[in-house]
Structure formats: C-alpha cells, structure tokens
Amino acid sequence: MSERLFIFDTTLRDGEQVPGCQLNTVEKIQVAKQLESLGVDVIEAGFPISSPGDFNSVIEISKAVTWPTICALTRAVQKDIDVAVDSLKYAKRKRIHTGIGTSDSHIKYKFNSNREEIIERAVAAVKYARKYVDDVEFYAEDAGRTDNEYLARVVEAVVKAGATVVNIPDTTGYCLPQEYYEKIKYLKEHVDGIDNAIISTHCHNDLGMATANTLNGVLAGARQVEVTINGIGERAGNTSLEEIAMILKCHKYLNIDTNINTTKIYPVSRLVSSLMNMPVQPNKAVVGRNAFAHSSGIHQDGVLKNVKTYEIMDPKDVGLDENSIVLTARSGRAALKYRLSVLGVNVDDEDKVDNIYQAFLRLADQKKEVTDDDILMLAGADRTASHSIKLDYLQVTTGKGVRSVASIGLDISNQKFEAAATGNGPVDAAIKALKKIIMKQMTLKEFTIQAISKGSDDVGKVHMQVEYDGSLYYGFGANTDIVTASVEAYIDCINKFRIRE
C-alpha cells in the first residue's frame, strides 16, 4: 500500500508575494480553480491581514473552490488570526497557518526576545486559532537554521497545544539535503506526540536545493509538501509542484502517491506564467520549453528508434499535447474558446469572446501559428481596458547610421495627445516622445525583452520597472512589434502609478 503525500500549494501566497507577480481577485480565482482541478489538497489563498485585496481574495477563493482546504496565513498575533478567521467564513474546509521565527537570529533581531518567550507565543497562537478552526498549521520560520533540539521543543509544545500540521521551513534555502533529512528525522524520533500531526516541508531555492530538500524531507517522514507552480516565490523561489509530482510518478518504488492529475500540469504552468507575467526558463525541469526537446543528432536518433532511450517521462503525462497547441487563421471561434478553456480560462461573456477572437484573427494574420502563450496573452489583453492612458498609434523610423524618430499618439481619458522625438534607437525615441506628453519625473529601471521562441513573427513580451516618486512600478506589454510592446509596458507602469495618486 502506498502512502499519501498532501500537496499544499502556496502559489497564491508565497508565489504572489514576488514583486511584479500580483494578481487581481478574478485572476486568483482562475488560478485557484485550476489548482483544484489539478488535485492539490490545500490552497494557501493569502495573508488576509496584509491588505484588503488579500482578505477579499481569500473570501472569493473560498466561495469559488469546493474540494481543497483553503488556508490563510497569519503571524502569531491574535488580530491576524481574527482577520484570517473572518476571511475563511465561506470555506468548506479551512485551515489557519500561524507561526513565528525560531532561529536564534529571528529571536534576537526580529523579536528582541528569548527562546522561552517564543515557545509561549507559539503555543498561545495555536491555542487561540484552535478556538475557531479544527485545522491549525504551525510554521517555525527559519527552521532550516534553528538547532534541532530547540526546534523539537517548539514542535512538541505546539502539537500539544493542538497544531494538526507542523511546517518546517527552510526559509533562506540554506540547508543541505542531508541536513534537512536529518532535521525531519530528528523531529520524528524526538518529539513526543509527533504522530498526532503531519510534518510539512517548505523549502526555498536560494542555492538550487529546494526540490532535493523537499524530497529528502518526504523520505524522512514528512507527509505534506509546500510548493508553487513553476517554483515561483520570493528570491529564487519555492519548490516546484511539478517537479515533486513527477519525481514521485517516475519513481513509483518510493510508494508515495499524491492526488495530482499530472496531465493538468502544463496548462496550469502556462496559465500562471501568463497571468503573473513570469516567463518559465526554457530549460526548467518538466515545464520548460526545452524539457522534451531533443536537439542533438545522437539524441534524436535514439528517440526515433525508441522514445525511452532518452525520455524518462511521456510529455502527455504532463499535459503536453503537441497536436493541440497550434491555432491558425483558419481556426474558428469555438476552437479558440475550447483551447482557452483547456488552458484554464473560461470566458462566459460572449462579447468578450468576440473581442479575443478578433484580436486572435489579427494576430493570426501576422504570424502563421498562434501558440498557447499568444492566446493567453490575448485573453489577458483586455486587462488594459480599464486603463485611462492608452496607446493610440506609434510610428518609428529607424535604421543603421540614422537617428531614430518616433511619433506617438495617446488617448488619455478619451482626449487625444500627440508628440514626436528623436532618440538613440527606436525604443528611446518612442519613450522620449511619450515623456513629452506625460511630463513626470520617471526613470526606467529595468527593461527585459522575453526571448522570441518560435520565429521572427512571434509575439515579443516586455517587462519593465519604472521608478516614480520613490516607488517602483511593474509593467508588461506584448506585441509582434517589440517597440510597440516596449511602449505598452511603459504605459502599463504609468497607469499603475496614476491609480495610486
């Protein structure tokens, strides 16, 4: 009989904390529903005290989702727990995730406290949360750098106080795989009552060891893993859900099963990448564009003779179905709608479907094949519908040995504005022209053009950071014309800082 491993997805909490990855509530619901059909056991839906947006998202996700437990994060503080309880009122299954730092540096510098007081605060938080919900998870922040003896005392105290799950985060991604294995084993062997709770892993990837550490935690006895889609998360990210799910599928002899329907992995990965404007690195395990691409002659020859020569996973097992990816100018509205639904975007409003379809036809005229990424981008494109500043037109003259010239037209709250400028390249000229209309002290801090994947007619994606009035704003633009995509990304930033004014 195989053992069951619970999958706790924190894409919408630890993942969404990443600057530039913020989603609105509608987008979070879209992701949550896909996580449900993927088969995750727990969705960490947010940190409700942190903002009204997070509070509202936990409410709406709780209403939208049926099977997974909905979890809300708190500090070991009564007010946080009160707000979390309130946000979970519609959840069919609910969990509070409370905790405190336990490493010496957290205790001394973050809390100016001592070990005994930290145990008291941890126990008080768990007891308080248990008054409202039956399922309380405790996290010992920076457990990776907490000495095992003290960590065991904390864990024993919180389990006695009623914690149903104990989370052992390697918050800084510091642990070596063997060290993390020993940590979990130590807790299994030294904590009285540990069998009354589930041990959970929560590993960060600062040194590229998140997946190895998580797997070792499981081998040492952890029965819940905290993961994110595409491994997104603070700094170098969290453990990737898809990597853990596929490791366990490929290594069946480990006898550890999850509830994950692995054929949904690829569509969910694309959806999260597209909504969060977070490209997946091409060589990313399981979901990267090159994960199943054999380019060397020796490999191709082997794969043609027998696919098992070089492939340990069937691409279909992760939902990669080559035949279904390509849409062309001849594809109908229904095909587009179906493809969107496979990718997790259910558009019920027929006018909206029409808008997306018209944009799809325009794009299909410009390029032969419209990919999943393209149509996800088109479906998200009407996020700009509420923008008060829109790009009306852009014309650029550029070339070798001449100074670039740009003329730009903007629509600002239904009023038309025009300007022209020269610059050191087409993007520079276009942004200088834009700045003649939007006369603000703003500075471009980061400018990333996502690699063109399929050909010279592909949609180029631009991510930008612009500093204005002491804050950084993130913008995104996508277009087959990379200069237009750049200007759209800049305008996306400006629309955001206008919202805050």
Helix ranges restricted to H, 191-332? 210-219, 241-250, 265-275, 297-305, 322-325
Nearer to ligand KIV, 3 or 147 (CB): 147
Q: Taking the complex as a whole, how short is the minimal distance between the CB of residue 100 and Zn ion, in angstroms? A: 14
Helix (H) or strand (E) holding 419: strand 415-423
What's the CA gap between 328 and 307, in Å, rounded? 29
> How far is it, in rounded angstroms, from Cα 493 to Cα 121?
42
Closer residue to ligand KIV, CB minimum distance, 28 or 339 = 28
Q: Which partner from the list ligand KIV, Zn ion, none does 319 bind, CB cut-off 5 to 8 Å by kind?
A: none
Give the pair of three-digit tokens for residue 65.
């989702």
Give min distance, CB of 173 to ligand KIV, in A: 9
* 204/432 with CB nearer ligand KIV: 204
CB 29 within 8 A of CB 61: yes
488 binds, options ligand KIV, Zn ion, none, Cβ within 5 to 8 A by partner type: none
- Residues forming contacts to ligand KIV in the complex (CB under 6 A) are 14, 139, 141, 167, 169, 171, 202, 204
- How near is the Cβ of 41 to ligand KIV at its closest, in Å? 17
Cβ proximity to ligand KIV, 88 vs 166, nearer residue: 166
**How many CA within 13 A on the CB side of residue 144?**
23
Smallest gap from residue 65 Cβ to ligand KIV (A): 21
**Cβ at position 238, least distance to ligand KIV in Å:** 8
Question: CB under 5 to 8 A by kind: which of Zn ion, ligand KIV, none does 339 bind?
Answer: none
Least Å distance, CB 289 to Zn ion, is 27
Q: Among residues 14 and 156, whose Cβ is nearest to ligand KIV?
A: 14
Interface with Zn ion (CB under 5 A), residue total 1
Cα angle, residue 453 at apex, residues 451 and 457 outer, rounded to 5°: 100
Nearer to ligand KIV, 87 or 171 (CB): 171
- Name the H helices within 276-425: 297-305, 322-325, 333-342, 350-366, 372-381
**Which residues make Cβ contacts (< 8 Å) with residue 438, sequence separation at least 6?**
389, 410, 494
Question: Which of the listed partners (Zn ion, ligand KIV, none) does 463 bind, with a CB threshold of 5 to 8 Å by partner kind?
Answer: none
Question: Token pair for residue 292?
Answer: 């199943």
387 binds, among ligand KIV, Zn ion, none (CB under 5 to 8 A by kind): none
Rounded to whole angstroms, the Cα distance separating 491 from 183 reads 49
Selection from Zn ion, ligand KIV, none that 139 binds (CB < 5 to 8 A by kind) is ligand KIV
Pick the closer one to Zn ion by CB: 156 or 170.
170
CA distance linking residue 63 with residue 372, whole number of Å: 29
Q: How far is the CB of 13 from ligand KIV (least distance, A)?
A: 8
3-state SS of 451-474 is: CCCCCCCCCEEEEEEEEECCEEEE
Nearer CB in complex with Zn ion: 205/450: 205
Residues 9-68 that bind Zn ion (CB under 5 A): 14
Q: Which two tokens stand for residue 453?
A: 């994947």
**Min separation Cβ 207 and Zn ion, Å:** 15
For binding to Zn ion (CB under 5 A), which residues are involved?
14
